[in-house]
């Protein structure tokens, strides 16, 4: 009887205490290891604070793993390539873009003395990692705008991942490649003779793009955003502050990326941040640039965004 009373008192007291303080719920902000996750690295040190909620960041190894968590309904907030976000939403998931957090950071590098500009790429081979991804399709649109047929006038190679492309440029195994940061900086540092033969952002705009092309977006579960707009606002503010901090403190940011095992070395990240376009553009402001990007997916790979431009509701408005 005595044990029963003690147990009853314990349950009653601590149950009431939990009710008084408010039950803690958990929310994960998902990132992706590699350059996409660098902009949110400050959140790993200082997660957003919301009363009654335990918010923590977690970086997954690749975008496909995060896409699966959004498809299952487990993920509520995270970063994705824009086309993946559009495709998930087209399948009926309640997903919205909250902000663009990374724009084009591509460099077209060459050690071939005969290649001085895009017009000199005819008959050449250019390594481009990620067949069918944003860098590949942006480059294809640029080539076509210059009168170069990607399937006839130039050979695009897709056999190597970004780190391997950088190492192959350094070793001289390949001469020309399209690389994002920080791998472009890695290649430049390893082989100072590499030249940037075109301004990809400027070429994209000439080819019909609306400003710099989005590479990474912060997405939210629409139902969660409707039920907890206070949480989403807090996360958006914290993410924007993280990006500003990263840009202002590249050395410290690089150290945190290595500390939290985002798959990149501190020195490379720190050197690449000034060349990387980490931004924070709310979805409604970024819609024109996103739709310009989605249009080239419709041209080359419509299934990659679900076959149609996303509707107006795809863009979060708080």
- Tens-digit pLDDT profile for residues 167-187: 999 999 999 999 999 999 999
* pTM recorded for the entire structure: 0.89
Is the model's pLDDT at 204 over the cut of 50?
Answer: yes
Name the CATH superfamily, with its identifier, for domain 106-206.
Periplasmic binding protein-like II (3.40.190.10)
* Same topology between domain 7-103+214-314 and domain 106-206: yes
Q: In this predicted model, what pLDDT tens digit does every residue of 148-169 receive, in sequence order? A: 999 899 999 999 999 999 999 9
Give 209-256 pLDDT, tens digit per residue. 998 999 999 999 999 999 999 999 999 999 999 999 999 999 999 999
Give long-range contacts, CB 8 A cutoff, 24+ apart: 240-244.
Answer: 240/99, 240/280, 241/42, 242/39, 242/40, 242/41, 242/42, 242/43, 243/39, 243/40, 243/101, 243/278, 243/279, 243/280, 244/280
**Using an 8 Å Cβ cutoff, are 273 and 253 in contact?**
yes
At the topology level, CATH places domain 7-103+214-314 in D-Maltodextrin-Binding Protein; domain 2 (3.40.190)
| Domains in the chain: boundaries | 7-103+214-314, 106-206
Q: 4, exposed or middle or buried, with CB in 10 Å at 0-12, 13-18, 19+?
A: exposed
The residue with greater pLDDT, 210 or 21, is 210
């Amino acid at each position: 009887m005595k044990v029963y009373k003690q147990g009853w008192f314990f349950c009653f007291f601590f149950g009431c205490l939990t009710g008084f303080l408010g039950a803690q719920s958990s929310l994960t902000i998902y990132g992706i290891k590699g350059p996409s996750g660098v902009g949110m690295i400050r959140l790993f040190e200082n997660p957003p604070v919301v009363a009654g909620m335990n918010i923590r960041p977690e970086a997954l190894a690749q975008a496909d793993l995060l896409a699966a968590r959004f498809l299952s309904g487990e993920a509520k907030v995270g970063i994705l390539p824009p086309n993946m976000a559009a495709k998930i939403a087209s399948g009926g998931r309640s997903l919205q873009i909250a902000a663009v957090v990374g724009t084009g950071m591509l460099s077209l590098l060459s050690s071939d003395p005969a290649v001085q500009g895009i017009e000199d790429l005819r008959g050449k081979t250019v390594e481009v990692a990620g067949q069918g991804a944003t860098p590949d399709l942006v480059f294809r649109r640029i080539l076509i705008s210059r009168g170069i047929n990607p399937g006839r006038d130039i050979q695009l190679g897709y056999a190597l991942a970004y780190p391997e492309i950088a190492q192959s440029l350094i070793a001289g195994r390949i001469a020309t490649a399209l690389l994002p940061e920080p791998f472009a900086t890695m290649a430049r540092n390893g082989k100072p003779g590499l030249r940037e033969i075109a301004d990809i952002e400027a070429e994209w705009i000439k080819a019909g793009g609306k400003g710099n092309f989005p590479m990474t977006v912060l997405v939210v579960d629409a139902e969660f955003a409707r039920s907890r707009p206070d949480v989403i606002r807090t996360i958006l503010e914290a993410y924007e502050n993280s990006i500003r901090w990263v840009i202002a403190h590249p050395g410290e940011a690089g150290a945190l990326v290595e500390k939290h095992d985002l798959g990149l070395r501190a020195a490379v990240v720190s050197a690449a941040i000034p060349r990387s376009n980490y931004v924070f553009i709310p979805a409604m402001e970024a819609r024109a640039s996103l739709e310009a990007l989605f249009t080239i997916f419709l041209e080359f790979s419509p299934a990659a965004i679900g076959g149609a431009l996303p509707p107006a509701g795809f863009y979060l408005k708080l």
